[in-house]
């Protein structure tokens, strides 16, 4: 029998340690120690020694942390993501890529990735982690998006081969459905992260269907009820999930690379690509799609004639937008998809960032613009208010009101001091949003919380099965079977189908004969 002294547990909780499996600080080991301390307190043995034998092995939570602490095993995470964050241009792509980079840097987590991707440039590995590309289907209304139901079972085989401690799947989508099945069949904890606000998209793309928003929420609630933990990207999304009575929800912290997105990248050559004039440059970065409400920026250009607009990105609505903005001539430029240094320079070389979309679950491009030292105007909807503190580090416009958006942009254009103050405070706030802290919190706090919850539910299910097995002994099953069939025979005698048909036929003939 293994014996652990409570004083050792207390020392682990209070003393920062580095080494072993590479976990940094008391946060990682503190979780293990706290699990042991909670077990000791629960068993009423706070003041001395407590044994860890068969009883503690039955306590799945404590035994899980004990084994990992002793063996210094890295956590193994199966990451199932759709659409792919590697070749698809989307807001959450940076989140997943930065998460993987910092998990590799922290060095105590193994990740296996499965994602649908049919492009030639699809990577086979990222940040040293293996990437398995699985067949998918592109949406007719949104060909840039590739989804999969894992009909060939490639993600399933990856999970079976990898034997993860936890499955992390993106939502909403189709891949989360087989992920739920694999989690149940293999008894693996399941974490879902929510990145696309489906009810808003349902209203935009299926407005001809009745109750489209309500149906979207019903689907989200049904799917996320199977998750041991749901991660949302902003406090506003957390409030909406709580209002919909979705349980076990937490906020996945935001982050930004303040070296990549920095005012120092401002470049005259890059600015010349954004505009041909000397006036203020308005910038939008992201998908060119219907739900982004980019037509609202035409009202801004009408009310701010000295401004020009640069649109960075691509999407299914690009052709319509080019036709829509054609009347502005050279004042509007479509730059396509930019990455790396070109994107950093485009951000830093603009003056004002505009986000008219009311469908953002967070708005990473807003964070990147703030880190680049831009004054930001965004819609007061979705996750944007969790980033912009109105009138302090940016301005919030009334959702779906392009004239109010134009009014705020005009205020910034006419007041250089206001623009400078907003940009300075925005940059200072962005410097406090680090990917390393967000990833460490995910790995050391949120993933273990999902594992603990799953272990507790498995323990409860095992107890129920044991009680059921003890209750329904072979003798009891024979008795119940006998009683059931006896009751069935009694019912069958009381209700004879032949007698019923004969009676019905007789009454029908009498009725049709007019008697």
- pLDDT tens profile 324-343: 999 999 999 999 999 999 99
What burial letters (b/e) apply to 99-116, b meaning 16+ CB within 10 Å?
A: bbbbbeebebbbbbbbbb
Backbone φ, ψ for residue 195 (5° rounding)? -125, -20
Is residue 412 within 8 A of residue 395, CB to CB? The reply is yes
Query: Distance between CA atoms of 132 and 117, rounded to whole angstroms?
Result: 9
Residues 498, 102: Cα–Cα separation, whole Å: 74
Q: What's the pLDDT tens digit per position in 84-128?
A: 999 887 878 889 999 999 999 988 899 999 999 988 889 999 999
Tens-place pLDDT, residues 183-223: 999 999 999 999 988 988 887 777 667 788 889 999 999 99
Closest CA to 299 of 405, 227, 384, 399: 405
Cβ-contact 396, 386 below 8 angstroms:
no
Cβ 357 vs Cβ 230: under 8 Å:
no
With beta carbons less than 8 A apart as the criterion, state whether 275 and 299 touch.
no
Give CA 405 to chain center in angstroms.
Answer: 29
252, 257, 263, 266: CA torsion to nearest 10: -120
Encoding tokens for residue 369? Answer: 């613009």
Using CA atoms, how far residue 11 sits from 17, 20, 330, in Å, is: 10, 17, 67
Distance, CA of 303 to CA of 281 (rounded, Å): 14
Give pTM, 2 decimals.
Answer: 0.76
Q: Strands, DSSP E only, in 305-443?
A: 308-312, 332-336, 352-355, 375-379, 395-397
Domains in the chain: boundaries: 2-71, 75-255+450-463, 263-430, 474-512
Contact by Cβ (8 Å): 94, 364: yes
DSSP 3-state assignment of 285?
Answer: strand
Topology of domain 75-255+450-463 in CATH is: Rossmann fold (3.40.50)
Q: How confident is the model at residue 72 (pLDDT cuts 50, 70, 90)?
A: low
Q: Count of residues for the chain?
A: 515
Q: Is the pLDDT of residue 3 over 80?
A: no
pLDDT tier, 22 (very low <50, low <70, confident <90, very high otherwise):
very low
Q: Is the pLDDT of residue 486 over 80?
A: no
Give the Cα separation of 22 and 16 in Å (integer).
13
pLDDT of residue 514: 58
331: DSSP letter = G
Tell me the per-residue pLDDT of 294-323, one tens digit each, with 9 for 90 and over: 999 999 999 999 999 999 999 889 999 999
Residues paired with 311 in a beta bridge: 284, 334
pLDDT of res. 11: 40
State the number of CA atoms in the 13 A half-sphere of 89 facing the CB.
20
| Euclidean distance between CA atoms 489 and 237, whole angstroms | 56
111 in helix, strand or coil?
Answer: strand
Share of the chain above pLDDT 90, in %: 62
- CA-CA distance, 446 to 437, in Å (whole number)? 13
Neighbours of 174 (CB within 10 A): 16
Q: What is the dihedral of CA 386, 392, 395, 397, to 10 degrees?
A: 60
Q: What are the residues facing 309 on neighbouring strands?
A: 282, 332
CATH number listed for the domain at residues 263-430: 3.40.50.2000
Instruction: Say whether 511 sits in a helix, a strand or coil.
Output: helix
Q: What is the pLDDT of residue 466?
A: 81
Which residues are registered as beta bridge partners of 511?
none
**Which distant-in-sequence residues (6+ apart) come within 8 Å of 500 by Cβ?**
none
Whether 288 contacts 321, CB under 8 Å: yes
């Amino acid at each position: 029998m293994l014996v652990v002294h409570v004083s050792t547990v207390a020392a682990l909780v209070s003393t920062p340690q580095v080494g072993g499996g590479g976990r940094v600080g008391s946060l990682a080991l503190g979780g293990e120690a706290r699990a042991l301390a909670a077990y000791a307190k629960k068993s009423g043995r706070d003041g001395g020694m407590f044994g860890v034998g068969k009883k503690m092995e039955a306590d799945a939570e404590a035994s899980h942390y004990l084994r990992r602490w002793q063996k210094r095993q890295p956590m193994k995470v199966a990451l199932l993501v759709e659409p792919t964050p590697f070749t698809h241009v989307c807001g959450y792509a940076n989140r997943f890529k930065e998460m993987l980079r910092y998990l590799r840097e922290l060095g105590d987590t193994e990740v296996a990735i499965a994602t649908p991707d049919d492009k030639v440039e699809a990577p086979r590995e990222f940040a040293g982690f293996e990437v398995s590309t699985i067949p998918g289907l592109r949406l007719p209304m949104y060909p840039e998006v590739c989804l999969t139901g894992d009909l060939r079972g490639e993600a399933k085989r990856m999970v079976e081969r990898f034997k993860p401690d936890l499955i992390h799947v993106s939502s909403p989508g189709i891949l989360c459905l087989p992920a739920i099945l694999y989690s149940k069949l293999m008894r693996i904890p399941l974490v879902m992260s929510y990145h696309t606000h489906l009810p808003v998209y349902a209203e935009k793309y299926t407005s001809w269907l009745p109750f489209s928003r309500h149906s979207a929420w019903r689907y989200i609630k049904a799917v996320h009820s199977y998750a041991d933990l749901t991660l949302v990207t902003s406090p506003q999304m957390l409030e909406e999930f709580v209002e919909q009575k979705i349980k076990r929800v937490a906020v996945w912290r935001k982050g930004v690379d303040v070296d990549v997105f920095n005012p120092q990248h401002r470049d005259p050559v890059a600015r010349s690509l954004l505009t041909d004039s000397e006036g203020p440059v308005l910038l939008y970065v992201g998908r060119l799609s219907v739900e982004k409400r980019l037509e609202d920026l035409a009202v801004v250009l009408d009310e701010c004639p000295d401004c020009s607009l640069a649109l960075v990105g691509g999407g299914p609505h690009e052709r319509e937008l080019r036709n829509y903005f054609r009347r502005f001539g050279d004042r509007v430029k479509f730059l396509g998809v930019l990455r790396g240094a070109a994107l950093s320079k485009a951000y830093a070389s603009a003056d004002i960032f505009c986000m008219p979309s009311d469908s953002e679950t967070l708005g990473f491009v807003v964070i990147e613009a703030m880190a680049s030292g831009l004054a930001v105007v965004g819609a007061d909807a979705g996750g944007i208010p969790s980033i912009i503190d109105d009138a302090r580090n940016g301005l919030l416009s009334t959702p779906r009101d392009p004239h109010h958006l134009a009014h705020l942009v005009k205020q910034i254009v006419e007041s250089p001091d206001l623009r400078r103050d907003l940009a300075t405070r925005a940059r200072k706030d962005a410097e406090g949003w680090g990917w390393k802290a967000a990833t460490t919190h995910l790995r050391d706090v949120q993933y273990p919380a999902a594992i603990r919850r799953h272990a507790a539910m498995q323990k409860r299910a095992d107890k129920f099965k044991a009680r059921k097995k003890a209750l329904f002994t072979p003798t009891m099953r024979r008795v119940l079977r006998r009683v059931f069939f006896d009751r069935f025979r009694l019912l069958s005698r009381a209700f004879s189908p032949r007698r019923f048909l004969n009676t019905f036929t007789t009454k029908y003939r009498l009725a049709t004969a007019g008697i």
